[in-house]
């Protein structure tokens, strides 16, 4: 779309995806719907850094203010873009370094990691990454596994805060996940609804990193598609007013963006149809709703939100837009890349 011809409309509350390396004409039309506020990129959308940069520029040019563009770029198993950028190890490596060399060294490396990650993604015009993972490694959840920094909540919070600070200094926004903790369940919420039977007092250990990250200024938090029946016997965290409004907002004082996990995941199906999931997530307190890998579901969600006349997103979503950040010198970039290569083994 030529400069100056973008459509002017507020960002809507839905974050959707596209099928390939660039949007089709039909997908461009979808991205210009008022209910849409952002796009999430998956590996299928990422050939290399140059192509992703062109894709982000094309998406940002569609509307004003630009759609938000996010990506899962954690490292290890969960790194969507691999070519033309640094390949990061799983975040558990930072916890291992804390054990071997001390927490302060792990924190220093975490900051450098965040600075490099942030600089690389901001240079490609990405706004945020769905990271850091704040779940505790309890040796139970395969889907979390080495995505978790460590089992010690104090270490997880301390390391994640420095990683997030590095990202923020580079202008990249972040999303802490999966509140109030996904590490103590065996089921994979992509396919099933996990149940964490522990009482609230025991869950406090898993909640600790989220409390600390709120104090550190993380702009967004993603709740888990997990049921915690000792706290809310009816609704998983992502659909629970108790968890999102009473605990996260009121008790913990979080004022940032609540980003739902993908409403197409198996753990969300108990809420009903796609339109029912959208309603339940919004009524619980979510601000930005992911609908991924389900084009028909995305269309239904968009139509439903727009029929209700609530397509415009809140100004709170502005906090997820990338910023200019501090420049990264070439010498620092080379140093950080070497550091990551060394800790990757």
Q: Identify the band that residue 6 occupies on the pLDDT scale cut at 50, 70 and 90.
A: low
Q: Identify the band that residue 311 occupies on the pLDDT scale cut at 50, 70 and 90.
A: low
Which one from 188, 190, 279, 332 is the annotated catalytic residue?
A: 190
Query: Is 80 annotated as belonging to a binding site?
Result: yes
- Is 191 noted as a catalytic residue in this protein? no
Query: Is 177 annotated as belonging to a binding site?
Result: yes
Q: What are the residue ranges spanned by the domains of the chain?
A: 14-336
Which one from 261, 262, 287, 304 is the annotated catalytic residue?
A: 261
pLDDT digits (tens, 9 = 90+) for 144-202: 999 999 999 999 999 999 999 999 999 999 999 999 999 999 999 999 999 999 999 99
**Domain spanning 14-336: which CATH class is it, in words?**
alpha beta
- Is 125 noted as a catalytic residue in this protein? no
Query: Is 249 annotated as belonging to a binding site?
Result: no
Task: Judge whether residue 66 has pLDDT over 80.
Answer: yes
Q: Identify the band that residue 310 occupies on the pLDDT scale cut at 50, 70 and 90.
A: low
pTM, whole model, 2 decimals?
0.96
Task: Judge whether residue 2 has pLDDT over 90.
Answer: no
Task: Judge whether residue 312 has pLDDT over 70.
Answer: no
Query: Is 72 annotated as belonging to a binding site?
Result: yes
The three-state (H, E, C) secondary structure of the chain, written as one string: CCCCCCEECCCCCEEECCCCCCCCHHHHHHHCCCCEEEEEECHHHCCCHHHHHHHHHHHHCCEECCCEEEECEEECCEECCCCCCCCCCCCHHHHHHHHHHCHHHHHHHHHHHHHHHHHHHHHCCCCEECCCECCCCCCCCCCCHHHCCCCCHHHHHHHHHHHHHHHHHCCCEEEEEEECCCCCCCCCCCCCCCECCCCHHHHHHHHHHHHHHHHHCCCEEEECCCECCCCCCCCCHHHCHHHHHHHHHHHCCCCCEEECCCCCCHHHHHHCCHHHHHHHHHHHCCCEEECCCCHHHHHHHHHHHHHCCCCCCCHHHHHHCCCCCCCCCHHHHHHHHHHHHHHHC
pLDDT digits (tens, 9 = 90+) for 83-115: 999 999 999 999 999 999 999 999 999 999 999
Query: Is 178 annotated as belonging to a binding site?
Result: yes
Q: Identify the band that residue 315 occupies on the pLDDT scale cut at 50, 70 and 90.
A: confident
């Amino acid at each position: 779309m030529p400069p100056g011809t973008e459509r002017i409309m507020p960002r809507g509350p839905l974050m959707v995806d596209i099928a390939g390396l660039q949007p089709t004409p039909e997908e461009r039309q979808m991205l210009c719907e008022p209910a849409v506020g952002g796009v999430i990129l998956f590996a299928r959308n990422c050939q290399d850094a140059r192509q992703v940069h062109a894709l982000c520029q094309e998406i940002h040019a569609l509307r004003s203010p630009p759609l938000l563009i996010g990506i899962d770029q954690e490292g290890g198993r969960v790194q969507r873009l691999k070519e033309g950028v640094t390949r990061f190890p799983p975040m558990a490596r930072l916890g291992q370094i804390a054990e071997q060399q001390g927490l302060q060294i792990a924190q220093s490396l975490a900051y450098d990691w965040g600075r490099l990650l942030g600089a690389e993604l901001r240079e490609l015009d990405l706004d945020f990454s769905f990271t850091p993972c704040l779940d505790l490694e309890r040796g139970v959840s395969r889907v979390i596994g080495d995505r978790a920094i460590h089992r010690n909540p104090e270490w997880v919070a301390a390391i994640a805060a420095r990683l997030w600070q590095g990202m923020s200094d580079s202008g990249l926004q972040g999303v802490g996940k999966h509140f109030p903790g996904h590490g103590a369940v065996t089921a994979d919420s992509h396919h099933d609804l996990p149940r964490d039977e522990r009482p609230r007092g025991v869950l406090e250990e898993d909640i600790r990193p989220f409390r600390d990250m709120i104090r550190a200024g993380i702009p967004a938090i993603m709740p888990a598609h997990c049921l915690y029946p000792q706290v809310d016997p009816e609704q998983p965290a992502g659909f629970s007013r108790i968890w999102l409004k009473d605990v996260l907002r009121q008790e913990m004082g979080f004022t940032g963006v609540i980003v739902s996990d993908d409403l197409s995941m198996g753990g969300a199906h108990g809420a009903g149809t796609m339109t029912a999931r959208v309603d339940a997530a919004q009524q619980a307190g979510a601000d930005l709703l992911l609908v991924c890998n389900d084009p028909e579901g995305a269309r239904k969600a968009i139509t439903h939100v727009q029929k209700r006349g609530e397509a415009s997103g809140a100004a709170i979503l502005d906090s997820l837009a990338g910023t200019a950040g501090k420049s990264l010198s070439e010498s620092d970039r080379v140093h950080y890349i070497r550091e990551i290569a060394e800790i990757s083994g």
